[in-house]
Structure 1
Amino acid sequence: MMNRLMILMLASLLAFSCQRNPLKVDVSDVELELTFKSYDDDLFASAENLEEKVAGLQAEYGTFFDLFNHHMIGIGGPEDENFYPQLEAFLSDTMIVNLKAEADLRIDRGRLKNDFTEAFRHYRYYFPGQVVPAVYTCISGLNESVVLADSLIGISLDKYLGADFDYYPRLGLPAYKIRNMHPQKIVPEALYFWAMTEYPISTQASKVIESMIYEGSLLYFVDAMQPEVHDSLKIGYTSDQLEFCQAGEADMWAYLAEHNLLFSTKRMDIKRYVDDGPYTSSFTTESPGRVGAWLGWQIVRSYMMKNPEMSLKQLMETQDYLQILNESGYQPD
């Protein structure tokens, strides 16, 4: 009786360990003091004495100050003749003022900081020697969602106000983009772009399958940074779209293989299967865009399960995407 009980206990433990997500690591002892600042708060607080306070903003925010003014809102720098009039016009514009008010209402900065801190604890766990970027929030007038430099991430809060925010459809944005313009998307999207910046695709990559696997590695990076976050949020799918991919995985893979698309070097083929869109034209309108990226994600997951000695850093530095495919043992049923 005792032997049978021990066998059952061991079987249960084995089943549990097989189901456990290997990326759910303990980062409670990882020390991190994240730099998280609200540039939008400081900028709007400076509106009444702009010329006096710009030097302080420039000193405090440095590279981000330049990125914001030159690239996000396109007004140049303080040395330019029209800089101050244009910045004053930006801060007094009715739409900008409304966007700022909605961001303050809809986005919890404390929670956002906590989510970034938890994600970058994982980053420090996997990449102990790497610089953890500062995170700055701003209102960009619905320009870039995320901007990056060597040691910073800038987030346009006005691009994440929720699918119900009425400005977005009025501006003609497509529904598939609006669906992902909500606060919960900020951190996974920022992490995805951070990984893309830190680990760009090989200049030698020219095939559909190589872009698929590269995209899969970026999504796996987000997996590692946010192991508790649902897949649908990481890739930006609805639950129905995720179910479509899970149910049709083998068929989609077979279609790409049978039509000789995996090794196609045509730019339009790469865009069709990797870029975002309302759906993937080779399949039904119920399919999501980026099915190639989703399949690449499953390939990378299979590869990492088959090669447990491979570190996340080694994966992100690997640019032989065909080797990942060959060693993944990927064969969807």
Structure 2
Amino acid sequence: MKIDVSDVKANLTYKNYEDDLFEAKGSLEEEIPMLQEEYSRFFELFNLHMIGVGMPDDDEFFTQLESFLNDTMIVNLKEQVDLRINKNELEQEFIEAFKHYRYYFPNKVVPDIYTCVNGLNQSIVLADSLIGVSLDKYLGADFDYYPRLGIPAYKIRNMHQQKIVSDAMYFWATTEYPINLKASKVIESMIYQGSMYYFVEAMQPELNDTLKIGFTEKQLEFCQNSEANMWNYMAENNLLFSTNRMDIKRYVDDGPYVSVFSTESPGRVGAWLGWQIVRSYMKNNPEVTLKQLMENQDYLYILNQSGYQPD
């Protein structure tokens, strides 16, 4: 999976909207037209959909935006972002990931990356050729706002800077390559999710598996040690071909753990197993490109050709 991308040009636009917005704080009416021109689509996305203050031609826009920027929590979040997030490092990580993207998908558009502080709303927001990253959702597992807001511990564990790029690449992949709408079986969701993590792996080959999928070292170890048992359990209990939405939720979606596999298991064990199936498929079919994998919506074909057999 490791490739030389030193000569690949990412051509990435990366901007920290929160810095420019807070700098404009004292003279919004004067500065907003320039911000609107510079940030264009993201400006609209941020104001309309992320913080809900409307647009400059709305009567209450400036009052509401000023109120947002002077809110004690928002001011504190911006201070914490400046303190806890290494923005230059983050930009370099994005450039490196999108160099890999350019290598594998030379004809695809590289999205613009915009960071922001949005008051702990969505972590990653996607629009046409654009990724918005809410840095205030990645301030570290020790950031005291998160538990006070009732965010579950299993989610807080992944709210730190090292998860930003892998989250962004994962969500970008899901918009570029959405799941086959006819896919209704647990195994199909497993393999689809597996291909998304395989994509993240291709974009960030140096990243530890724990960060690609968001497991702790112990959870990853549990999965590796229990792989055959988990796979056999799902096969023997006819779960793999179940079309019950609750089964997909239980085994593939995020959660604190999967109760039938013990509290030591992570949520999303089905997605992790799907990732191992996709890895096996790509290993046993070296002629298949990443592009072909991502475009293949016949998940049962991938399973059948994977030669996957955990022991």
TM-score range, shorter chain: over 0.9
Establish whether residue 80 from structure 1 lines up as the match of residue 72 from structure 2.
no
Q: Which portions of structure 1, spanning 4 or more consecutive aligned residues, are displaced by more than 3 angstroms?
A: none
1:254-303 per-residue CA deviation (whole Å, 9 max, x = no partner) reads: 01101100011111111111111110122101110000000000000000
Tell me which of 294, 312, 319 is aligned to 2:297. 319
Which position in structure 1 is the counterpart of 2:7?
Answer: 29
Provide the rounded CA distance (Å) in 2 between the counterparts of 1:63 and 1:266. Answer: 39
Equivalences for residues 167-178 of structure 1 within 5 A: 167-178=145-156
Which position in structure 1 is the counterpart of 2:277?
Answer: 299
Establish whether residue 159 from structure 1 lines up as the match of residue 140 from structure 2.
no
Which position in structure 2 is the counterpart of 1:6?
Answer: none
Which position in structure 2 is the counterpart of 1:5?
Answer: none
1:186-227 per-residue CA deviation (whole Å, 9 max, x = no partner) reads: 000000000001000011110000000000000000000000
Which position in structure 1 is the counterpart of 2:248?
Answer: 270
Structure number with bigger Rg: 1
Which position in structure 2 is the counterpart of 1:218?
Answer: 196
Which position in structure 2 is the counterpart of 1:18?
Answer: none
Tell me which of 46, 49, 70 is aligned to 1:71. 49
Which position in structure 2 is the counterpart of 1:181?
Answer: 159
Which position in structure 1 is the counterpart of 2:104?
Answer: 126
Q: Give the secondary-structure state (helix, strand or coil) at the position aligned to 1:282.
A: helix
Which position in structure 2 is the counterpart of 1:145?
Answer: 123
Provide the rounded CA distance (Å) in 2 between the counterparts of 1:322 and 1:124. Answer: 29
Provide the rounded CA distance (Å) in 2 between the counterparts of 1:312 and 1:79. Answer: 45
Establish whether residue 202 from structure 1 lines up as the match of residue 174 from structure 2.
no
How much has 1:304 moved relative to structure 2? Answer: 0.3
Which position in structure 2 is the counterpart of 1:3?
Answer: none
Q: Residues 117 and 136 of structure 2 are in contact (CA less than 8 Å); yes or no, is this contact kept in structure 1?
A: yes
Establish whether residue 53 from structure 1 lines up as the match of residue 31 from structure 2.
yes
Which position in structure 2 is the counterpart of 1:20?
Answer: none
Which position in structure 1 is the counterpart of 2:114?
Answer: 136
1:213-253 per-residue CA deviation (whole Å, 9 max, x = no partner) reads: 00000000000000010000111000000000000000000
Which position in structure 2 is the counterpart of 1:280?
Answer: 258
Provide the rounded CA distance (Å) in 1 between the counterparts of 2:138 and 2:275. Answer: 25
Provide the rounded CA distance (Å) in 1 between the counterparts of 2:105 and 2:269. Answer: 29
Tell me which of 80, 103, 118 is aligned to 1:102. 80
Structure 1: gaps spanning 5 or more residues: 1-22
Q: Give the secondary-structure state (helix, strand or coil) at the position aligned to 1:200.
A: coil
Q: What's the Cα RMSD here?
A: 0.7
How much has 1:33 moved relative to structure 2? Answer: 3.1
Matched to 1:74, the amino acid is G
Provide the rounded CA distance (Å) in 1 between the counterparts of 2:27 and 2:197. Answer: 44
Tell me which of 221, 224, 232 is aligned to 1:246. 224
Establish whether residue 113 from structure 1 lines up as the match of residue 91 from structure 2.
yes
Structure 2: gaps spanning 5 or more residues: none
Which position in structure 1 is the counterpart of 2:17?
Answer: 39
Provide the rounded CA distance (Å) in 2 between the counterparts of 1:275 and 1:304. Answer: 24
Provide the rounded CA distance (Å) in 2 between the counterparts of 1:92 and 1:161. Answer: 20
TM-score (norm 2): 0.99
Matched to 2:218, the amino acid is D
Matched to 1:36, the amino acid is Y
Matched to 2:190, the amino acid is M
Matched to 1:97, the amino acid is V
Provide the rounded CA distance (Å) in 2 between the counterparts of 1:272 and 1:32. Answer: 38
Which position in structure 2 is the counterpart of 1:9?
Answer: none
1:54-98 per-residue CA deviation (whole Å, 9 max, x = no partner) reads: 111111111111111111111221222211111100000000000
Alignment length, in residue pairs?
Answer: 311
Q: Give the secondary-structure state (helix, strand or coil) at the position aligned to 2:140.
A: coil
Q: Give the secondary-structure state (helix, strand or coil) at the position aligned to 2:113.
A: strand
Q: Residues 11 and 110 of structure 2 are in contact (CA less than 8 Å); yes or no, is this contact kept in structure 1?
A: no
Q: Give the secondary-structure state (helix, strand or coil) at the position aligned to 2:257.
A: coil
Provide the rounded CA distance (Å) in 2 between the counterparts of 1:108 and 1:127. Answer: 28
Provide the rounded CA distance (Å) in 1 between the counterparts of 2:258 and 2:54. Answer: 39
Tell which deviates more after alignment, 209-218 or 53-62. Answer: 53-62
Which position in structure 2 is the counterpart of 1:17?
Answer: none
How much has 1:309 moved relative to structure 2? Answer: 0.6
Matched to 1:73, the amino acid is I
Provide the rounded CA distance (Å) in 1 between the counterparts of 2:66 and 2:300. Answer: 53
Provide the rounded CA distance (Å) in 1 between the counterparts of 2:267 and 2:98. Answer: 28
